[in-house]
Amino acid sequence: MMSRWQMISIQCLLLGLVSITNLRAQQPASTPNAADVQGSMLFASNCGSCHGADGRGGEHAPDIATAHDVQQLADSDLIAIAKDGIPGTGMPGFGSLGQEKLTAIVRYLRNLQGRRTDIKLSGNPKGGEALFFGGARCAKCHMVNGKGGFIGGDLSLYGADESADQIRGVILDPEKNLPPQKKATTVVTQTGQKFTGMLKVDDNFSVSIQTMDGDFHFFQKSQLTHIDLGSHSLMPVNYGSMLNDKQINDLVSYLLHVGSENSKRSPTHSSKSDDDDE
């Protein structure tokens, strides 16, 4: 009979496969930063569901980040446990991932165990700022500290509440990591005109969307033949191939840095205020 843990671990493996396929489409894992990114994604999809995203334990599994006995295990022991599991317990084996991925997971686990801040600050916030307003064109759609575009949310405080992994996830795969309400809405009118943009108003009778050019379009629902909510992300989906791992780390560091600076300045911040209907 399949135990609950086995079922969960099969689901985890499937998730793992999905993220591995995603990774293949990106950069070759040659630089140390690439390994960090790969390790964090593999950890999130294979281990995080039981041990917690930060490794500090969850409902299903013990703390493997701050627990002393685990910290004291050699890398080779950790790899062996991850590979073979612990028979007779809820800890499944991940041998099918192969040595290289298991090594990346364990390296990331070492980061969780003690060098968390290294990961956070492994990028260069200054470089990230330059990319944000320059080459990566984030500011075309997002505002930080009063500068930039409006079609995406204001990110001045975003990094105060979100983890590096969350930010990296959105940049690398917005289609997967943005919730539906943060994706575009497409409406089709009875005359066949099509509008795509961010949903601003949605009540019983009307919807209003803001298109990329900044214009607001207001419709009675009775005028529309089709409303497709949260169909796709307006954020470019190819940052994983456009930017290298260092650049992505720099961007993540920039958003974390600016978020923590801004939240120090206004301790009663709410980074979610752009969700409000105005």
**Site of interaction with ligand HEC (CB under 6 A):** 5, 8-9, 12, 46-47, 49-51, 60-62, 64, 67, 69-70, 78, 81-82, 86, 89-92, 94, 105, 109, 136-138, 140-142, 151-153, 155, 158, 167, 170-171, 178, 182, 198, 234-236, 239, 251, 274
Q: How far apart are the first and last CA of the chain?
A: 54
- Residue 66 or 223: the one with the smaller Cβ distance to ligand HEC is 66
> CB of 84: closest distance to ligand HEC in angstroms?
11
User: Which residues lie below 8 Å from residue 142, measured CB to CB, with a gap of 6+?
Assistant: 132, 148, 149, 152, 153, 154, 155
- Residue 64 or 119: the one with the smaller Cβ distance to ligand HEC is 64
> CB of 91: closest distance to ligand HEC in angstroms?
3
- Closest among 114, 100, 92 to 47, alpha carbons compared: 92
- Closest among 198, 131, 127 to 171, alpha carbons compared: 131
> CB of 186: closest distance to ligand HEC in angstroms?
13
Distance CA 52, CA 74 (A): 21
- Residue 83 or 121: the one with the smaller Cβ distance to ligand HEC is 83
> CB of 182: closest distance to ligand HEC in angstroms?
4
- Residue 83 or 223: the one with the smaller Cβ distance to ligand HEC is 83
**C-alpha triplet 33, 34, 38: angle, nearest 5°:** 120
- Residue 34 or 50: the one with the smaller Cβ distance to ligand HEC is 50
User: Which residues lie below 8 Å from residue 207, measured CB to CB, with a gap of 6+?
Assistant: 185, 187, 199, 201, 218, 219, 221, 224, 227
> CB of 140: closest distance to ligand HEC in angstroms?
5
- Residue 5 or 223: the one with the smaller Cβ distance to ligand HEC is 5
Distance CA 240, CA 181 (A): 23
Distance CA 218, CA 221 (A): 9
> CB of 192: closest distance to ligand HEC in angstroms?
25
